[in-house]
Amino acid sequence: MDEAGRVKTVGELAALVGGRVSGDAHISIEYVASVGSAGVRAIAFVENRKALEDTQECSASALIVPDGAGERAREVAQKVPAIIEASKPKLAFALIGKILHLQKRREPLIHPTAVIAPSANIALTVYIGPHVSIGENSTIGTGTRIEASVVVGDDVTIGLNCVLQPSVTLYDGVTIGDNVVLHAGVCVGADGFGYVRDDVGYHKFPQIGTAVIEDDVELGAYTCVDRAALGQTRIGRGTKIDNLVHVGHNCDIGERVVIAAQTGISGSVIIEDDAVVGGQVGFGDHVRVQSGAVIGSKAGVLPGKIVRPGVWWGIPIQPLDEYKRLNAHIGRLPQMRAELKELRERIKELEEKLSSS
């Protein structure tokens, strides 16, 4: 282990996350793990007091627990020699994970199989892996790592300390900010899906805008962000997008937005800062999702819809309380069908009696 970067004492970790230690603060910690799998020199966490009951056999060297739960943790997790109390245990665990498990680093290198245009501006500390292609007038900032088979088009700007995993494709003219992570197969800047119909078929609407990925964004594997038809498609600072998400042309995704896998976003959708979008959500065009909105998985958002703050679900999308009421009614349909059948039979009997009398 690298003592400078990957081994810390319990006391050092607690100080870094604003936690309070009870027990042995001098124990060295090397890695993070779950409660069930943690061993010596590992640190684990529990998010609430109820979960403490599952720590009786925990063998970690340290355990992160909620504020005020330290005494109970010492009673239950007697094998654990050190406890860190933190206001947000899961967040503290994540921050410690970043400290103990440093991002993979590579020494500056340009692999001999890489093809780089003479006019490209490559910082001296960049790593460029096998079979990478970098186009004319593109700029790559200090500390950026570009893995195998990445394609960077002409006039592309990539910021500082970015990571482009294998087979990422950046079309001409796109901009990538600092500290951006693009996972395998990400495509930024492909043409948007814009066509105009006449009597004999479809004509492509110009797709001559750009795509901008701001600082601290992470895009999951095989996610696609289309360039704008005119203007720009934007992914805001600190936004995290899961695998297999499609962002259509001229979308404006705000800051610190979270979007889960297999979501499809049509053109000209605006998602404001701090919104949360579940998996497999489908957006029609020209939707606006306001800050504070949470959209549940598999929801369908009709074109032009304004999604206000709150929790939303269903197809078409509706407030969660309405969706739950509707689901309750749908669940009673078989019973209602049987009751309706019985009522029809009784009405038929009554009609027969009336006609015979």
Report pTM.
0.85
Q: If you average pLDDT over residues 256-283, what whole number do you get?
A: 97
For residue 64, what are the β-bridge partners?
Answer: 45, 84
Query: 165 with 248, same domain?
Result: yes
Quote the tokens at residue 179.
Answer: 């500290």
Write out pLDDT tens, residues 299-356: 999 999 999 999 999 999 998 788 778 777 777 788 888 888 889 988 988 888 888 8
Query: 180 with 234, same domain?
Result: yes
Write out pLDDT tens, residues 23-71: 999 999 999 999 999 999 999 999 998 899 889 999 999 999 999 999 9
Query: 133 with 83, same domain?
Result: no
Query: 123 with 55, same domain?
Result: no
Query: 333 with 315, same domain?
Result: no
Q: How far apart are the C-alpha atoms of 257 and 242, rounded to whole Å? A: 11
Above 60 in pLDDT, residue 215?
A: yes
Query: 118 with 158, same domain?
Result: yes
Query: 220 with 170, same domain?
Result: yes
Q: What is the mean pLDDT of the chain?
A: 93
Q: Is residue 26 flagged as an active site residue?
A: no
Query: 205 with 299, same domain?
Result: yes
Above 70 in pLDDT, residue 174?
A: yes
Q: If you average pLDDT over residues 213-234, what whole number do you get?
A: 98
State which of 100, 131, 155 marks the end of a domain: 100
Above 70 in pLDDT, residue 2?
A: no
Helix or strand holding residue 349 (H, E): helix 333-356
> Is 1 among the domain residues?
no
Per-residue pLDDT at 5: 52
Before 309, cis peptide (omega within 30)?
no
Query: 166 with 270, same domain?
Result: yes
Catalytic residue from among 26, 249, 286, 329: 249
Per-residue pLDDT at 176: 98
Query: 160 with 233, same domain?
Result: yes
Instruction: Note whether 7 and 26 are within 8 A (CB).
Output: no
Domain harbouring 80, CATH code: 3.40.1390.10
Instruction: Note whether 302 and 285 are within 8 A (CB).
Output: no
The number of domains in the chain is 3
Per-residue pLDDT at 322: 83
Q: How far apart are the C-alpha atoms of 224 and 233, rounded to whole Å? A: 12
Residue with the bigger pLDDT between 353 and 266: it is: 266
Q: How far apart are the C-alpha atoms of 132 and 149, rounded to whole Å? A: 5
Q: If you average pLDDT over residues 8-25, what whole number do you get?
A: 94
Q: Which domain holds residue 265?
A: 109-320
